[in-house]
């Protein structure tokens, strides 16, 4: 990807700080491409069972639109991001929110989140991380899922145009690699998303 975001990401990846570009990006006030008015169309198209107060965790929540969608389905929702500015933005966008917005790092999460959530959403975050740190990030996502819980993974499978990331689409091997440490794949689909630069999309559901 070219432009400010692409240069910022490339500079940080080159400097060995592959997650260090998100905070300066949000803090710059630049419009990030994933800051759209509604929850992800792919999340909205996924039938969520009523939460009935069960716990949900939204990984890399950004400005919070997906977290608000999940909370509205009745889940006691925690949502986290590595960027303090993104968390401030999520809180200010949703002043009456029931979501607990938290600054945290997927690669060093709070120990009490281990297998603590009935629903975990990973949407479009792993694809923004360079390949060498993905195995650890994927394992961390899976570690949040409680016994009997569900992990929903939404991700780019391919992009059109400029092949320089981010995003760096997930391979089928990376999608399969969510199914470790007692997690098993319930479904894995790849669908066309012709209106988007991320022109094919993965959706996986897993349980433990
Ligand atoms: C491409 S954006 C996607 C945001 C959101 N999930 C969505 O689909 O709109 C990636 C998000 O992950 C966050 N992020 C990146 N690395 C992270 C980490 N190690 N821990 C927590 N959040 C992280 C970024 O700050 C950013 O908000």
* Average of per-residue pLDDT across 106-110: 98
Q: Identify the pLDDT of residue 2.
A: 63
Distance CA 125, CA 150 (A): 18
- What's the mean pLDDT when you consider all of the chain? 94
> Cβ(8)–Cβ(30) under 8 Å?
no
Please report the pLDDT score of residue 162 as a whole number.
72
pLDDT category of residue 114 using cuts at 50, 70 and 90 = very high
> How confident is the model over 78-84, as a mean pLDDT?
98
Q: Which of the listed residues 44, 79, 125, 130 should we mutate to test ligand 1's pocket, taking the one with most ligand atoms within 8 A of CB?
A: 125
The whole-model pTM stands at 0.97
Phi and psi angles of residue 116, each rounded to the nearest 5 degrees, phi first: -105, -5
- Tens digits of residue pLDDT in 12-63: 989 999 999 999 999 999 999 999 999 999 999 999 999 999 999 999 999 9
- Under the banding of pLDDT at 50, 70 and 90, the label for residue 163 is confident
Of the candidates 81, 120, 82, which has an alpha carbon nearest to the alpha carbon of residue 208?
120
Question: In order of start, what are the domains of the chain with their CATH numbers?
Answer: 36-207 (3.40.50.150)
- Percent of the chain's residues with pLDDT above 90: 84
Which pLDDT tens digit goes with each residue over 171-203? 999 999 999 999 999 999 999 887 787 889 999
The strand order across the sheet containing 117-123 reads: 100-103, 76-81, 55-58, 117-123, 145-158, 200-207, 184-192
Nearest CA owner, ligand 1 atom 10: 125
Q: Is the pLDDT of residue 126 over 90?
A: yes
Residue (of 154, 82, 70) closest to 118 by Cα position: 70
Question: What's the CA gap between 145 and 11, in Å, rounded?
Answer: 33
pLDDT at 1 exceeding the cut of 70: no
Atom index in ligand 1 nearest the CA of residue 127 equals 1
């Amino acid at each position: 990807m070219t432009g400010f975001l692409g240069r910022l990401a490339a500079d940080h990846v080159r400097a060995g700080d592959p997650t260090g570009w998100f905070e300066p990006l949000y803090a710059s006030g630049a419009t990030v491409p994933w800051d759209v008015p509604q929850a992800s169309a792919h999340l909205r198209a996924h039938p969520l069972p009523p939460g009935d107060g069960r716990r949900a965790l939204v990984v890399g929540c950004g400005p919070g639109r997906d977290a608000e969608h999940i909370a509205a389905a009745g889940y006691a929702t925690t949502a986290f991001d590595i960027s303090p500015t993104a968390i401030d933005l999520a809180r200010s966008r949703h002043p009456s929110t029931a979501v607990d917005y938290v600054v945290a790092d997927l690669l060093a999460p709070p120990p009490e989140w281990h297998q603590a959530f009935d629903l975990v959403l990973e949407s479009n975050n792993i694809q923004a991380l360079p390949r060498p740190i993905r195995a650890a990030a994927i394992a961390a996502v899976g570690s949040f899922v409680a016994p009997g819980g569900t992990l929903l993974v939404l991700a780019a499978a391919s992009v059109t145009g400029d092949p320089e990331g981010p995003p760096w689409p997930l391979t089928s091997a990376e999608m399969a690699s969510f199914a470790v440490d007692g997690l098993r794949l319930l479904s894995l689909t790849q669908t066309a998303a012709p209106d988007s630069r991320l022109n094919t999309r993965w959706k996986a559901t897993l349980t433990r």
